[in-house]
Every structure is written in C-alpha cells, then in structure tokens.
Amino acid sequence: MNLAEAFAAYENVRQRLPAPSGRGACVRLPNLDALADQVDTFLLDAFGVLNIGETAIPGVPDRVAGLQKAGKRVLIVSNAAGFPHANLMEKYKRLGYDFAPEDVITSRKALLHGLRSEPARHWGMMATESLGRADLEDLNVTYLADDLAAYEAAEAFLLIGSAAWTEQRQALLEATLIAHPRPVYVGNPDIVAPRETGFSTEPGAFAHRLADQTGVVPQFFGKPFGTIFDLAFVQLDHPNPKRIVMVGDSLHTDILGGQVAGVKTALISGYGFFAGSDVTTSIDAAGIYPDFIIDRP
Ligand SMILES: [Mg+2]
C-alpha cells in the first residue's frame, strides 16, 4: 500500500471511527521541545514517532531523555498488540529509550483490560504464534491457521497480530462468521503501519474487511478508541487535559484519538505516515485538524 491508498482505506471506514471533536489550529512548530512550555505530559505514539520499524528515529532518544530530565511525564500510547509487553520493553531499551513498564500503554493492555469484564470463552486468535503467549496465559486461545475446524470451534475471535495472516485465513474467518456470527475483538485498530520499506497491513485492515463482508461489528481496542487513553490517565496524578498532548503521525488514530480523549494533539509531518507528503491536503480531506503540526519528534 502507498500513502494515498492507506489514507483512502482509513477514510473508507470513517463510519466505524469516532467523530472528530473540535478543530485544532494546526500551529506549526519544529519539534517536541517547542511544546514543552505548554505541556506537562507527552503521550507518544511509537511507530512514526519513536521508531520506524526496528530503527529509532535519529535524535528522538535524546529528545525524549531531555524532556524526562526537564520533569515532563512521557508515556508511550501505542497500538502495539502483537508483542508481549516484556518484548516491547526490551525493544525500546535497545532503541535507546528509558520508560517504566507501566508508562508504556498499549492496545494489548487495553484489550486485556476490556476482556476482564467478559465471560471466559474459547477464543480463536489471529496472532503470530512464534512471539509466544506471554500476557495471554489466562486466556483459552487457539491460534487460527488453515484448519477450518479451529474457526468453527471458537466462541469468539481476537485479532492482535497479522504478520502471519493470509488471504486464505481471512476467507476462512469470514466464511465461519457468515455461517455463525460471533464476537470479534480487535487489539490493533491500525490499518497500516509505516515500516522501513513502506506500509504493512495491520489487524484493523482485516477487521474492517470482515465487518464489510459479514455484518459482524468488531469491538476495537486502541487508538482512536477511548479505553487506551483511560489506561494512560490512570498513570497520571491529577491529569489536566489542557496540559497533555497526544503526539503521533496518524490523523485517523493518534489525532482523532487524542481529540476524543480531550487532550491536545500534535501531528508529526516529517516522519511516519505523512513523510514526504503535503500534510495539509490530507488534513483538509479528513477534516481532522490537530492543534499542532510538528516537523519532527
Ligand atoms: Mg504511528
């Protein structure tokens, strides 16, 4: 997928996303330091802000360390659902970041939090089996592969990682849901993620496809939906939304999510989703206006 296709894919599912609240002024600033006098707490997206794929964006580890040294709270708010939390913590450390585990808020955490109020079920799971089952030990899950019986036996479905997903598996999932509709929980609402070589297809893309094909309405956990922000606010003492900013490279997840959560929003224009493109055209097309547009994190 290229940028235009990725943007169109998000626009095509706007009916399943929250509506924008308010219209930011799109004030242009050079980097995160320029926000420091207006903000006490930074909620940072990961892909496109801290890193592209497995590489830190140059200068950002030092920038984040500087903000932390200046007394700012810096939390990660990421739609990373496929990786065990310990793996993610190792990755951020390897990239040069220093975050406490409880300050890394993922859609995996939001999903698991949401499942606590659900009855015990036998879940069919879209996930990468080689990453292991850490954090999910208490769930009764079967990894979905190419055996139709596993799809038919599941009481409900979890979509958390699509690296090993295939068109064949998607066809099996859609067919079983048409024959016998069951709940679908999505731990990563992203449709795409920026990688070193372009955009990868993420679980949200398959969730929206199955919704279009089967009429099953998936339940999403992660940006732009609110529960992931609720988990972030739990980590803050007396959070003041006017002094919190959500920073991200995606209008449809980070900026929309920040607006729905009632915090300030800053769109990264030079890295990640909109790298190398004219972001104002996309902002106008989406009608999602951030408070700030910053060239780089
Ligand atoms: Mg991102």
On whether both 103 and 149 belong to a single domain, the answer is no
On whether both 18 and 84 belong to a single domain, the answer is yes
On whether both 184 and 227 belong to a single domain, the answer is no
On whether both 273 and 134 belong to a single domain, the answer is no
- 195: confidence class by pLDDT, cuts 50, 70, 90: confident
CB atoms closer than 10 angstroms to residue 24: 20
- Boundary (domain end) residue, out of 220, 254, 270: 220
On whether both 85 and 229 belong to a single domain, the answer is yes
| Mean pLDDT, residues 88-104 | 98
On whether both 172 and 266 belong to a single domain, the answer is no
Task: Specify if 115 maps to a domain.
Answer: no
On whether both 214 and 258 belong to a single domain, the answer is no
CB atoms closer than 10 angstroms to residue 107: 31
- 8: confidence class by pLDDT, cuts 50, 70, 90: very high
Q: What amino acid is encoded at 92 in this protein? A: Y
Number of domains in the chain: 2
What is the structure's pLDDT at 103?
Answer: 98
| pLDDT tens, position by position, 218-235 | 999 999 999 999 999 999
Judged against a pLDDT cut of 90, whether residue 176 lies above it is answered with: yes
| pLDDT tens, position by position, 53-90 | 889 999 999 999 999 999 999 999 999 999 999 999 99
The CATH number of residue 212's host domain is 3.40.50.1000
Task: Specify if 61 maps to a domain.
Answer: yes
Task: Specify if 74 maps to a domain.
Answer: yes
Judged against a pLDDT cut of 90, whether residue 44 lies above it is answered with: yes
Q: How far is the CA of 251 from the centre of ligand 1 (A)?
A: 9
b/e per residue 57-94 (b: at least 16 CB within 10 A): beebbebbeebeeeebbbbbbbbbbbbebeebbebbee
On whether both 182 and 255 belong to a single domain, the answer is no
Q: How far is the CA of 137 from the centre of ligand 1 (A)?
A: 28
Residue 162 belongs to domain spanning:
120-220
On whether both 92 and 25 belong to a single domain, the answer is yes
Q: How far is the CA of 152 from the centre of ligand 1 (A)?
A: 34
On whether both 56 and 44 belong to a single domain, the answer is yes
Determine which of 38-47, 61-70, 126-135, 190-199 has the lowest per-residue pLDDT on average.
Answer: 190-199
Neighbours of ion ligand 1 (CB under 5 A): 45, 47-48, 249
On whether both 57 and 193 belong to a single domain, the answer is no
Task: Specify if 114 maps to a domain.
Answer: no
Task: Specify if 137 maps to a domain.
Answer: yes
On whether both 155 and 207 belong to a single domain, the answer is yes
Q: How far is the CA of 205 from the centre of ligand 1 (A)?
A: 15
Task: Specify if 54 maps to a domain.
Answer: yes
| pLDDT tens, position by position, 199-213 | 889 999 999 999 999
Q: What are phi and psi of 69, to 5 degrees?
A: -65, -30
- Boundary (domain end) residue, out of 158, 186, 220: 220
Q: How far is the CA of 155 from the centre of ligand 1 (A)?
A: 32
Task: Specify if 136 maps to a domain.
Answer: yes
- Boundary (domain end) residue, out of 178, 193, 220: 220
| Mean pLDDT, residues 148-176 | 97
Which residues are within 8 A (CB) of 213 and not within 5 positions of it... i.e. 6 or more apart? 174, 178
